[in-house]
Amino acid sequence: MKLPTRLPVLADSAAIEQAALLLREGRLVAFPTETVYGLGADARNPAAVQRIFAAKGRPADHPLIVHLSNVAHLDEWAINIPDNAIKLAAHFWPGPLAIILNKQPTVPVEVTGGQETVALRVPNHPVALQLLQAFGGGVAAPSANRFCRISPTQALHVAEELGDTVDLILDGGACTVGVESTIVDLSTERPRLLRPGHISYLQIEAVLNTALLLPPSLKPTHTASASALRAPGMMAVHYAPSTLALRYRAEQLPVLLRELTASHKKAGLLTYREVIPENPIAQVIQLSNHADAYAQALYASLRQLDQLQLDIILVEQPPESEAWRAVNDRLSKATRAY
């Protein structure tokens, strides 16, 4: 493992004040949210926002989420705000939900990737909220990882990913949700789910009292598929470890292990049930069989296996029920089906 050059700093009030000062100077600050760590910059400062893209190695046409301290700031960023946005904000903010709205003309194109819409979210993490309050404005923040890599759920993961390209890393402990926010697009007539997350589309439909348009992979009858439609700006290969990662079904495991043994491969295995390690499995990580607890630990576990110099990471396919949608969505991008 490469030793990080910039170490996280405990997010006490002095560190948070310093972080707000850095944001005002156009510098980059990584901070915890309840979903994953974000790489933040002043969303009103195009040069600062460009630094995010440089640090991540991310193409400039991928839009960013603007983080706000509360819903009262919504109209500084969005126009034609529908009642549905107010309803969702009242219900789920602060929380793991990003809402896409038509943007104010003043929102820098660097933030929106040239689109006429902007993504907004009030995160539910004390450090994020204190930072947003101290800073006073909107903070553009993607997940604090290099482009196409696994999102960081601990401060040290940010240091490993970004080193000293980030000016300060606030350490607020491990993220409790562990997968990125649910994204709902309210910029057009029919509300549309763009990315599944901890807040399910059923919860959103219950609040809006209307059906959401869903990507094909999320229709209840449809099974997860690597070729399913993605949210704009999302790619099929995403959230991926460097080690080859294969997703298997329980009944496939004996054959798979025989194949790997025959070709002298060393494997790591991630599952939610008990698996007795046998040749060629060097390491087993057993997560919870509850989707929320599994999601919380998923990225850290993939990172851990990724650092063991294995030939392959095997991930057992979780159930394809609604509770596992967000996990299955991320696994369909992080792994290939066997």
Residues contributing to the site for ligand TXA (CB under 6 A): 33, 35-36, 38, 62-65, 98, 100, 112, 115, 117-119, 121, 123, 141-143, 180-181, 183, 194, 231-234
Integer CA distances (angstroms), 149 to 90, 140, 243, in order: 33, 19, 11
Residue (85 or 118) nearer to ligand TXA, CB: 118
- Which element (helix H / strand E) includes 172? none
State both tokens at 79.
């126009």
- Whether cis (ω within 30° of 0) applies to the bond prior to 94 is yes
Binding to Mg ion, residues 136-195 (CB under 5 A): 143
Residue 126 interacts, among Mg ion, ligand TXA, none and using kind-specific CB cut-offs from 5 to 8 Å, with: none
Q: How far apart are CB 269 and ligand TXA at their closest, in Å?
A: 27
Backbone angles phi, psi at 281, to 5 degrees: -85, 120
Residue (117 or 271) nearer to ligand TXA, CB: 117
Residue (33 or 117) nearer to Mg ion, CB: 33
Q: Report the alpha-carbon distance of residue 173 to residue 269 in Å, rounded.
A: 26
Q: How far apart are CB 181 and ligand TXA at their closest, in Å?
A: 3
Binding to Mg ion, residues 126-145 (CB under 5 A): 143
With CB atoms as reference, the residue minimizing the distance to ligand TXA is 233
Residue 235 interacts, among ligand TXA, Mg ion, none and using kind-specific CB cut-offs from 5 to 8 Å, with: none
Q: How far apart are CB 83 and Mg ion at their closest, in Å?
A: 30
Q: How far apart are CB 306 and ligand TXA at their closest, in Å?
A: 19
Binding to Mg ion, residues 90-109 (CB under 5 A): none
- Decide if 221 contacts 114 (C-beta within 8 A): no
Residue (163 or 233) nearer to ligand TXA, CB: 233
Q: What angle do CA 303, 284, 329 make, to 5 degrees?
A: 55
Q: How far apart are CB 242 and Mg ion at their closest, in Å?
A: 16
Q: How far apart are CB 106 and ligand TXA at their closest, in Å?
A: 15
- Decide if 332 contacts 263 (C-beta within 8 A): no
Q: How far apart are CB 103 and ligand TXA at their closest, in Å?
A: 8
Residue (110 or 316) nearer to ligand TXA, CB: 110
Count of residues in the chain? 338
- Decide if 103 contacts 79 (C-beta within 8 A): yes
Helix axes 83-92, 201-208, angle to 10 degrees: 120
Residue (101 or 314) nearer to ligand TXA, CB: 101
Q: Report the alpha-carbon distance of residue 271 to residue 285 in Å, rounded.
A: 6
Q: How far apart are CB 172 and ligand TXA at their closest, in Å?
A: 12
Residue (143 or 217) nearer to Mg ion, CB: 143
Residue 38 interacts, among ligand TXA, Mg ion, none and using kind-specific CB cut-offs from 5 to 8 Å, with: ligand TXA
Q: How far apart are CB 180 and ligand TXA at their closest, in Å?
A: 4
With CB atoms as reference, the residue minimizing the distance to Mg ion is 143
Q: Report the alpha-carbon distance of residue 142 to residue 53 in Å, rounded.
A: 9
Residue (143 or 271) nearer to Mg ion, CB: 143
Residue 152 interacts, among ligand TXA, Mg ion, none and using kind-specific CB cut-offs from 5 to 8 Å, with: none
Residue (306 or 316) nearer to Mg ion, CB: 306
Residues sharing a CB contact under 8 Å with residue 84, sequence separation 6 or more, in sequence order: 186, 191, 208, 210
Backbone angles phi, psi at 293, to 5 degrees: -70, -35
Q: Report the alpha-carbon distance of residue 234 to residue 194 in Å, rounded.
A: 9
- Decide if 324 contacts 197 (C-beta within 8 A): no
Residues sharing a CB contact under 8 Å with residue 8, sequence separation 6 or more, in sequence order: 30, 155, 156, 158, 159, 169, 170, 171
Residues of this chain that bind Mg ion (CB under 5 A): 143
